Amino acid sequence: MRGFGSSVHDAPDNAVNWRIVRSLLPYLSEFRGRMFLALGLMALAKLATVTVPIALKYIVEHFEEAGAEALVTVPVALVLGYGLLRFGGTFFGELRDAVFVRVAERAMRRASLRVFQHLHRLELGFHLARETGGLARDIERGTSGMSFLLRFMVFNILPTLIEILLVAGILLFAVGPVFMFTVLAAVAVYAAFSIWITEWRTRFVREANQRDNESNTRAVDSLLNYETVKYFGNEEFEAGRYDRGLAAWEQARTKNVLSLVLLNSGQALIIAAAITVMMLLAAARVADGSMSLGDLVMVNAYMIQLFIPLNFLGFVYREIRQSLANIERLFGLLEKPVQVEDRPDAPDLEVGAGHVRFEHVDFHYQPERPILRDVTIDLPPGRRIAVVGPSGAGKSTLSRLLFRFYDVTGGRITIDGQDLRDVTQASVRRAIGMVPQDTVLFNDTIRYNIAYGDPSASDAAIERVVRLAHLEGFVARLPDGLDTVVGERGLKVSGGEKQRIAIARMLLKDPPILVFDEATSSLDAQTERGILQALDEVSQRRTTLVIAHRLSTVRNADRIVVLEDGQVVESGTHDELLGHDGHYARLWRQQEAGTELTNDQC
């Protein structure tokens, strides 16, 4: 199966990542006022922070030079100022975060919503090929990475760079250019080393993420197929597959951590060497009298104060690169082209009688493998048309084309004369009710799953469709009735019960056009007869397409179309087709004998 990983191209790191950074900027524009206020508070916080060592210098020099009469009052004022500056640096920083939190959270919300909506716009083929566990992991890590990027790029990298320039300027004018150049050289070496090692170790971050996705996908896939695992007693086999994935993830994580140790150690060495050189220079100046003791304390305070955020800058850069690796796949989803799109200014479908026509329809997933060839089927208003044929004949593809999960590659499909490609997808899907063969329910209550057909429906309307779908007996036996939770993908209810819930949901939607794709395939004969009778009643005034393999369910259809190898080979009523003694008659005899007909047998 083609996994999610293959759907996102692997472009060069910097080209993709920095483009992603730029794509985040529009999300900050919703709260421009908050952004400017936060930037102002950031400037105040940095201004207070860089003046703290100057206040400390004057305190020390006061004790060196002041007379006994000033030892009480002046230091108190300086110490109070020193304390206020330290508090101001922290307070303005926290206030900045409080102001900016709405910007970051709203941006993350907007981006998450965009990805969610885009996933629903992608074609059915993408969702049939996706790996749910890996996709969920990518979205989770991507949204977390966005939050980190928005906060730290604006309010940690930029402030740290500003602080470096301010400190360099202060050292230049206060103690001389040699100190300034020493600081700038240390910062340059530190930054170059951090960037070089971080770029090198990004491969390990990506590998760890990929292995994490693979192991998580295996775990989710195995748990979703719990019953199949049990049927074949393959618990140990599944545990082995999962453990092999975890082993690969463990190895990738180990490489990641060891490379981080190298990075941290190198950064610590550079910081220690820079502080040592600066203190040696300052101590020599104090010894020859060209610098005061207060200047030495100030230089030491600036070095400590500077390398604390600089060390944090190294951490932030590492995390930014990891966050970029995390959200690369998330944003790659937004670049996944939508195969089925509405035309600009497309109108809504206007449903009158509900006349559906497939006119010379061709369709293929790959050009070398056609699925439908020159298929023409007419569904008159209020009539029931059945499409039958062996497995793989292309029957279910008709319903997917009718819903515009795909667009036809030749011919056209119309409803009341309107080409489906010329109207909005949403309006087409509002007009059609579907009961699929493989019904998947939400992990919620029966009531929720039925009401999904019309979330605004009343309890009385829900109870009515429960009766029409012959669900009342089943619901009455449940302790919580309609409020019973069906479990993930509806695993707590049987196949027949799931199909009846799907039928009730479709009836609640009350559309003018109905599609039943093997809608009673999981029902026993007695329940099937009851539901078919109910469906006869509700479909009398609707256009109905019945896709069936079990011919007994369509013998009363107004017209039966036989499909084989993607082509219409016969058409007529049940009696007419039996009289022709063709494909339908042979299929009927095979099913009467209790065997299944395939394309190879036709």
| pLDDT band with cut points at 50, 70 and 90 for residue 11 | very low
- Average pLDDT value for the chain: 79
The predicted model gives 98-116 an average pLDDT of: 76
**Residue 501: predicted pLDDT:** 87
Please tell me whether residues 196 and 269 are part of one structural domain: yes
Q: Give pLDDT tens digits for 351-370.
A: 888 899 999 999 988 888 88
Residue 539 lies in a domain: no
Q: Determine, yes or no, domain membership for 324.
A: yes
Q: Which of 79-88, 126-135, 408-417, 460-469 comes out lowest in average pLDDT?
A: 126-135
Q: What is the pLDDT of residue 3?
A: 35
**157, 138: one domain:** yes
Residue 23 placed within a domain? yes
For the chain, what percent of residues have pLDDT higher than 90?
Answer: 11
Lowest mean pLDDT among 130-144, 258-272, 422-436: 130-144
pLDDT score, position 374: 93
Based on the fold, state whether residues 325 and 344 are members of the same structural domain: no
pLDDT score recorded for residue 599: 41
Overall average pLDDT of the 406-414 stretch: 92
Q: Given pLDDT bands bounded at 50, 70 and 90, which one contains residue 215?
A: confident
Q: Which domain holds residue 159?
A: 8-335
- Does residue 2 register a pLDDT over 50? no
Residues constituting the chain: 602
Task: Give me the mean pLDDT over the 358-385 stretch.
Answer: 90
In a domain, 514, yes or no: no
pLDDT over 50 at 10, yes or no: no
Residue 13, pLDDT above cutoff 50: no
Instruction: For tokens 């597959």, name the residue.
Output: 241
User: Where does a domain end: 287, 305, 335?
Assistant: 335
* Average pLDDT estimate for 196-203: 78
Compute the average pLDDT of residues 175-180: 82
Pairing of strands 513-517, 410-415: unpaired
In this predicted structure, which of 272-281, 385-394, 577-586, 591-600 has the lowest mean pLDDT?
Answer: 591-600
Is the pLDDT score of 264 beyond 60?
A: yes
Task: CATH number of the domain at 201, please.
Answer: 1.20.1560.10
- Which of 295-299, 320-324, 561-565 shows the lowest per-residue confidence on average (mean pLDDT)? 320-324
Domains held by the chain: number: 2
Amino acid identity for residue 46 in this structure: K
Do residues 372 and 290 both lie within one domain? no
Confidence of residue 45 (pLDDT cuts 50, 70, 90): confident
Amino acid 414: pLDDT: 94
Residue 424 has pLDDT above 70, yes or no: yes
- Among 74-88, 381-395, 409-423, the range with the most confident prediction by mean pLDDT is 409-423
Window from 124-128, 220-224, 293-297, 357-361 with minimum mean pLDDT = 124-128
Asked if 241 and 345 sit in the same domain, the reply is: no
CB-count exposure of residue 248 (10 Å: 0-12, 13-18, 19+): middle
User: Is there a single domain that holds both residue 219 and residue 350?
Assistant: no
The span from the CA of 109 to the CA of 102, in Å, is: 10
Q: Is residue 117 part of a domain?
A: yes
Does residue 65 sit in the same domain as residue 102?
yes
444 domain-assigned: no
Q: Residues 329, 344: one domain?
A: no
Choice between 414 and 281, residue whose per-residue pLDDT is larger: 414
Query: HEC profile for 444-475?
Result: CEHHHHHHCCCCCCCHHHHHHHHHHCCCHHHH
Measuring CA to CA, which residue among 559, 453, 556, 462 is closest to residue 510? 453
Mean pLDDT computed over 427-432? 90
Domain boundary (300, 335, 370) is at 335
Give the confidence band of 130 by pLDDT, cuts at 50, 70, 90.
low
Residue 594, classified by CB atoms within 10 Å of its CB into exposed (0-12), middle (13-18) or buried (19+), is: exposed
Q: Mean pLDDT throughout 405-428?
A: 91
Do 420 and 320 lie in one domain? The reply is: no
Select from 449, 459, 439 the least CA-distant residue to 484: 449
**Better-predicted residue by pLDDT, 306 or 169:** 169
* Domain identity same for 294 and 413: no
301 plus 366 within the same structural domain = no
pLDDT score, position 361: 94
Cite the DSSP H helix spans in 233-347: 235-288, 293-335
Q: Burial level of 481, CB count in 10 A (0-12/13-18/19+)?
A: middle
Residues 406 and 326 in one domain: no
* pLDDT tens for each residue of 515-529: 888 766 656 667 667
CATH of the domain at 593: 3.40.50.300
Residue 318 binned pLDDT confidence (cut-offs 50, 70, 90): low
Residue 350 has pLDDT above 80, yes or no: yes
Q: How far apart are CA 468 and CA 445, in angstroms?
A: 19
**Structural contact between residues 596 and 587, judged by C-beta atoms closer than 8 angstroms:** no
Domain stop point among 274, 303, 335: 335
pLDDT of residue 121: 73
Is 129 within a domain? yes
